[in-house]
């Protein structure tokens, strides 16, 4: 991927709600490593939101990082905590989980935190249409100082996102592709 895009990923600002669409794990690796590096430079904790610890560890293995990462905090957030039995993926449950994290990471000595979301794991809980509704609820920017990259592996799930893909792109305030990234008036390629 172009260095300008990886630089954009590294310095993504707090409150950014970004979507990253990729089709091979090497693209995901480059983006995640850059995101991780940006977190280190800014003294931000890095979390991966996944459906299970197995999925979290599989991802780290696929991007050739081992868990626990020796140098830096990469912690696991469990996706089931964002959902309720009655509502599925739930905006209120998400806020309840994410907001207190800021104080927790402060106590650990970090200045903030950023999350990398294995968005395909959402499909373990609900449909693509419901995920779209949830992403829309989250808005273009977060109301609290958290950056998140929602990483959609388009190759893995055989077109399951296709029907909602354009709306998913619109639901996010920042966009990361293999040759183009940007938010607001800033576009890098």
Partner 1 sequence: MSNSIEFDEKRGEVRLLGSRQMVIDMDALCSHLDTLVGNQVSEVIVKNLELQEGKEEADRFLSSHPDAKVEEFIELMKRYDALSGVGITTVKLSENQDGPIFIEIANPYIKRTKGSSKSLLFSWWCGVLSGILHRELDLESITYDASSDVLRCTIIPRILE
* Residues of this chain that bind partner 1 (CB under 8 A): 21-23, 154-155, 159, 162, 165-166, 169, 177-180, 189
Nearest approach in angstroms of CB 54 to partner 1 is: 26
Find residue 188's DSSP bridge partners. 181
Taking the least distance from each CB to partner 1, the nearer of 84 and 163 is 163
CB 46 within 8 A of CB 35: yes
Taking the least distance from each CB to partner 1, the nearer of 95 and 188 is 188
Taking the least distance from each CB to partner 1, the nearer of 5 and 74 is 5
Other Cβ atoms within 10 Å of 34 Cβ, number: 21
Nearest approach in angstroms of CB 152 to partner 1 is: 9
Taking the least distance from each CB to partner 1, the nearer of 98 and 117 is 117
Farthest-apart Cα atoms in the chain, separation? 44
Nearest approach in angstroms of CB 175 to partner 1 is: 8
Distance CA 144, CA 132 (A): 21
First-to-last alpha carbon distance for the chain, in angstroms, is 9
Give ∠ CA 95-100-106 in degrees, rounded to 5: 140
CB 18 within 8 A of CB 184: no
Nearest approach in angstroms of CB 153 to partner 1 is: 10
Exposure on the CB side of residue 23, measured as CA atoms within 13 A: 5
Taking the least distance from each CB to partner 1, the nearer of 20 and 47 is 20
Nearest approach in angstroms of CB 127 to partner 1 is: 10
Find residue 88's DSSP bridge partners. 84
């Amino acid at each position: 991927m172009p260095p300008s895009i990886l630089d954009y990923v590294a310095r993504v600002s707090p409150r950014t709600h970004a979507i990253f669409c990729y089709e091979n794990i090497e693209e995901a690796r480059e983006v995640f490593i850059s995101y991780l590096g940006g977190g280190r430079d800014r003294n931000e904790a890095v979390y991966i939101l996944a459906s299970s610890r197995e999925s979290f560890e599989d991802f780290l293995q696929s991007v050739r990082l081992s868990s626990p990462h020796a140098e830096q905090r990469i912690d696991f957030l469990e996706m089931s905590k964002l959902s309720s039995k009655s509502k599925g993926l739930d905006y209120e449950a998400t806020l309840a989980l994410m907001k207190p994290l800021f104080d927790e990471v402060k106590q650990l000595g970090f200045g903030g935190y950023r999350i990398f979301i294995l968005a395909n794991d959402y499909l373990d809980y609900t449909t693509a249409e419901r995920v779209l509704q949830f992403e829309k609820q989250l808005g273009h920017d977060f109301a609290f100082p958290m950056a998140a990259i929602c990483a959609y592996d388009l190759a893995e799930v055989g077109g399951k996102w296709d029907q909602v893909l354009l709306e998913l792109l619109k639901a996010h305030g920042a966009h990361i592709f293999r040759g183009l990234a940007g938010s607001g008036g800033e576009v890098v390629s």
